[in-house]
A and B are shown apart, each in its own frame.
Chain A
Amino acid sequence: MKVFRLEVITPERTVFDGDVQSVTLPAEDGAMSVLAGHAPLVATLEIGPAKVVKADGTKSWLMLGDGFVEVTHNHVRVLADVGEPEDTIDLKRAEESERRARERLKSKAGDLDLVRAEAALARALVRKKIVRDLRPARDSRHP
């Protein structure tokens, strides 16, 4: 299978840099998969899980904050506010931040806080989904 280079860059560091077979991203218009030889593209991304199939065929997940993807000649760059590889996600912390975000939404503070709480909630839910559903599903298929 043909591979291409994927970089996941956040403002504070590069989270992932390596050859992959494919990557599935949470684009604004819906999930989008990129394979080698994709046409040049710039798209906006939402908060969501990204699936990476590495060059050796192993799959892994990333939690992405909102951002962009830029596809050039066999080089995909993902620019996101936040990027967390699955092994850095902590379920307890995700649940904790989910609880906090829900509380803030309930308290109905200013509009701005609401937007931020919604984003925090969305991130927490993606983290939970990765740890609770996506990762176990993969691991049970390949014991």
Chain B
Amino acid sequence: MKGVRELKRRLKGVKNIKKITKAMEMVAATKLRRLQDRALATRPFASRIESMMQRVAGVADQLVSPLLLVPETCTAEALVVVGADKGLCGSYNSNLFRTLVQHLRAAEAEKRQVRLYVFGRRAQMFVTKLKGTDLKAAYPEAVEKLDYRTVKRVMGQLTRSFEGGEVQRVNVLYTRMKSMASFKPTLQTLLPVPRPTVGADAPTTDYLMEPSPERILERLLPRYLEMQLFAAVLESLASEFASRRMAMKNATDNADGMSQQLTMEYNKARQSGITGELLEIIGGAEALKGQ
């Protein structure tokens, strides 16, 4: 049996760790809640932009925009990776990185160049360590602090390199939140924009389009793209926080179990120590009595 003092030291250590993981769990939960409010606030704008796209599509049969054109060949693609700034969030990072590596391998096999645009310090660290990657831009802003304006700027850059023909495709790799406990790294194509279809809530009345449907579409598309990327960022963040909360909850539970186990061992060790001492005293007293 281990020394009583050693057990006591370990018990204390486990309890301290439990306090930390508990605090981190609570921080993640609060951040998640705040983020959900933020995500909810962006929803009206996103859904209106989408329904407006459908409306314009319903009016103009022949929509022309360079952003809708699918290039014949694809030799270079831009990939936006939305990662995390910190670790300690379960398998969030490793799942994302695995999908990223898979994608890079597939692109290599197809002789397609991939230019990376990376959000999140952890993801940046990972990409810099990978060999043969083309890191175009790493954004120093904390993912949590990203606002619409920053996302808009990044999307503008990407759109220009698509229009300029430097890349023939723009993808985003982010983590989708399937439920509070299930997250899936997801690859989505931003450019070329999938041709808007006339939706189910298509207008029954004719809309006046001012100045013209083409002009409206020309201005709608950038907004639409920005919203897509912004939504990807928010969704990734939600996944990160939920994932961290879960990981920290598990750690807290484990620490609980361990501290129970250790307490029991400690008590046993202490008791057996006391029993041993008693036996010695009694034995000593008996020996004296005999004399």
Contact = CB atoms under 8 A, between A and B. Distances in A.
B200 interface: no
B210 interface: yes
A42 B55 contact: yes
B98 interface: no
Interface residues of B, number: 31
A20 to B, nearest CB: 18
A9 interface: yes
B76 interface: no
B216 interface: yes
Given A11-B227, A14-B41, A44-B215, A77 B210 contact: no
Contact of A41 (B46, B148, B210, B220): B210
B284 interface: no
Nearest to B49: A79
A10 B223 CA distance: 11
Interface stretch (B172-180, B188-196, B201-209): B201-209
Given A11-B148, A42-B52, A68-B52, A29 B210 contact: yes
Interface SS majority for chain A: strand
Contacts of B38: 12
Given A9-B48, A40-B206, A68 B216 contact: yes
A90 to B, nearest CB: 18
Interface in B34-78: 38, 41-42, 44-46, 48-49, 52, 55-56
A70 B52 contact: yes
Given A11-B45, A29-B211, A44 B219 contact: yes
